[in-house]
Each structure stands twice: as structure tokens, then as C-alpha cells.
Amino acid sequence: MDPSQIAQTALYQEVAERLRQRIFAHQLPPGARIDEQALAIDYGISRTPLREALKVLAAEGLVTLRPRRGCFVTEISEQDLDDIFPLMAMLEGRCALEATTRAKPEDLTRLDALHEELQRFASSNEIERFFEVNQAFHYEIQEMSGNRRLRQVIQDLRKVLKLTRLFSLGLDGRLQQSLAEHASILAAIKAGDAEGAQVAMHDHILAGRAALARIHAVQELTT
């Protein structure tokens, strides 16, 4: 069997995860039509588990099912970003607050290590690796909060944000700005300042939205 194919006995969740990763990598870009027949052949599966997988992704907001037209990768508009980022700021801010109240020495050690990685990748301008560690830093804080439902809502929203074609860390000066924002969050958590951590995280998320808006404005001027 071709190594890219999925065994007939695999669950539709595995198919969904394969498609999810292709969407996040923009191998299936926003607005692209999902060719069910081609994917079924590529994965070596019937269309039934594929369609079940697409229903999962539709529930996550990653694809849009259009009657009589097919399935398309969701496109994120500026309005979508304006709707999502304030909500993310509120939720992740709350997460930072709860994480601070529950932080243990070993948690702080892990956050310190992640921040050191952020510093290293920022200094070498390795944007993609900085982004990966940035995700881990945020996830660690979500884990520290101990709030499973809050963590799930945040992760669902972050999945949708991965659909944007814009990448704020590539904006001039944004990498160092983001690093400084992470340092402020970490300092507040280590100081046991729960409200300070909440504010720092809230402002950090909104700063990311502002950076995306600047990139969009530049693109509008050059097209």
C-alpha cells in the first residue's frame, strides 16, 4: 500500500486530522474546493469516512459545506478577525489569571525554558520556530490554568485563526515586540500577579490583531 494511504479500518478522526494538518499548512488553502474523489483515492479510503471527517472539520469552522456546490476550506475575513481576537484576548487573559493562581515551581520552570527558546529564535530571526514555541508557551499557560473547558474553547478558536493567510510575526519589529509581551506575561505569573498576567495576556493577543491589520493595510495599498 502507498504510505500516503490510510487503511480501510482507520477511524474518520484520523482522516480529519490528516486534512486538518493539510489545511493548517495551506496545502489546502483558504477558499479551495475539497475534491472528495481525489482525496479518497489518495488516502485509499471510501468516501464515507471522508465525508464524516469533513463534518468534523465543518463543526470546527475549518471547512464550509455548501449544498449542491461541495465543500470548501473556510476563508477568514477581516470581520472574522475583528470578532475572534477580542474574544481570544478575554479567554486567554482569564486563562493567564487562573494559571497564575495555580502555578507550581515546576510550571514556572517550563515557562522559563520556553521563554529562553523564544529569546534564542527571536535573536536569530527564526520566525517559524519562534511561532512554534509561541504556541507551546500559550498551551503551557492553558494547561496550568487547570480549566479544561476554557482550554478547549481557546484551542477551537486558535484552529480557526490558523486559516488566515497573514502572518503577523513577519511584520518589521513584531518579533521583538512579541518577545517583550511574553516577558511581561511571564514576569507577572512568576510574581503571582494574577490580574497583571491577565492584562498582559489580553494586551498581547490584541497586539497580534493590530499587527495583522497593519499587514492587511499594506497589502491593500500594494494591490
Listed residue (71, 23, 14) closest to 45, CA to CA: 14
Task: Look up the domain containing 61 and give its range.
Answer: 12-73
Based on the fold, state whether residues 122 and 145 are members of the same structural domain: yes
Q: Per residue in 45-93, pLDDT tens?
A: 888 899 999 999 999 999 999 988 999 999 988 899 999 999 999 999 9
Separation of alpha carbons 32 and 21, rounded Å: 15
Q: Which of 2-11, 61-70, 184-193, 207-216 has the highest mean pLDDT?
A: 184-193
Local confidence band at 163 (pLDDT 50, 70, 90 cut-offs): confident
Question: Within a 13 Å sphere around the CA of 156, how many CA atoms are in the beta-carbon half?
Answer: 14
Residue 4 in any domain: the answer is no
Residue 149: which region, alpha, beta or left (left: phi > 0; alpha: psi -120 to 50)? alpha
Q: What pTM value is reported for the model?
A: 0.82
Based on the fold, state whether residues 55 and 120 are members of the same structural domain: no
Based on the fold, state whether residues 144 and 68 are members of the same structural domain: no
Based on the fold, state whether residues 187 and 108 are members of the same structural domain: yes
Number of domains observed in the structure of the chain: 2
Based on the fold, state whether residues 67 and 88 are members of the same structural domain: no
Residue 2 in any domain: the answer is no
Residue 22 in any domain: the answer is yes
Residue matched to cell numbers 490510510: 6
